[in-house]
Amino acid sequence: MAHYVVREIDRAPDAVIAALGEAGVATAHEAAGRIGLLGPRIRARLEGAAIAGSAVTVSCHPGDNLMIHAAVEVCRPGDVLVVTTTSDSTDGMFGDLLANSLLSRGVRGLVIDAGVRDIATLREMGFPVWSRAVHAQGTVKASPGSVNIPVVAAGQLVNPGDIVVADDDGVLVLPITRGEEVAAAAAARLANEESKREVLAAGTLGVDLYSLRPLLAELGVQYVDRLPRDAG
Ligand SMILES: O=C([O-])CC(=O)C(=O)O
Ligand SMILES: [Mg+2]
């Protein structure tokens, strides 16, 4: 199999990326039509971190972080590194040394479907990481892989240049072609949710706000004062 380090990729406009970051993972995911999430085994390791950027993708041999090192030089400010392995791995493939390299290039964070280590230092540095595991297990630098090819991370296809949004709720990826439309839909959802929040906080019930009573009736759900003795 051929292996590649691809230097040039398309990236979404900064304004679109910023708008999606502002919306956050849950809202952008809804606005996109409930697509694009990485599986929840990928967890935020720096609580409160929230980023959005362009995916630089990496496919590594398990237990080998050579290609992460190779990826550093193709990263640009505003990128997010998305690392996968060709078979399951929880090894600590990434730590504070690599984080220093990425920070110096303006990379916003790391999403890795494997392990990270040096987590206390990563927290001190404020370098945001979403990973499958935290594990001190060291890795070697010996096997070929690829940078900026399509990869699958926690069940989700990620293409180089995809828009990555990551926060405490998880990680979302969107194709560049959908960025503008989803950002607009997400902004509309944010405004709508804000007005709903006010109405709900004032005590209006969700079943009324969402007009759910007719649906409950249609589904045969009965409102009664007490549970009938013969309730099935
Ligand atoms: O050096 C490595 O292979 C991974 C690591 O711990 C670091 O980047 O600090
Ligand atoms: Mg280290």
Q: What are 177-197's pLDDT values in tens digits?
A: 999 999 999 999 999 999 999
- HSE toward the beta carbon, residue 173, CA cutoff 13 A: 26
Please give the distance, rounded to the nearest whole angstrom, from the Cα atom of residue 123 to the centre of ligand 2: 13
Residue 9 has pLDDT above 80, yes or no: yes
Q: Tell me what ipTM this predicted complex has.
A: 0.97
In the chain, % of residues over pLDDT 90: 97
**pLDDT, average across residues 3-10:** 98
Contact 55, 160 (CB under 8 A): yes
Domain 14-185 - what CATH class?
Answer: alpha beta
User: What pTM does this model have?
Assistant: 0.94
Which among 83, 64, 53, 62 has a CA at the least distance from the CA of 147? 83
Q: Is 38 helix (H, G, I), strand (E, B) or coil?
A: coil
> Which helix or strand (DSSP H or E) is residue 132 part of?
strand 129-134
pLDDT digits (tens, 9 = 90+) for 87-144: 999 999 999 999 999 999 999 999 999 999 999 999 999 999 999 999 999 999 999 9
Pocket test for ligand 1, best of 94, 107, 119, 143 (most atoms within 8 A of CB): 94
How far is ligand 1, taken at its centre, from the CA of residue 52, in Å? 24
Q: Is the pLDDT of residue 35 over 90?
A: yes
Residue 94, ligand 1, Cβ within 6 A: yes
pLDDT at 230: 85
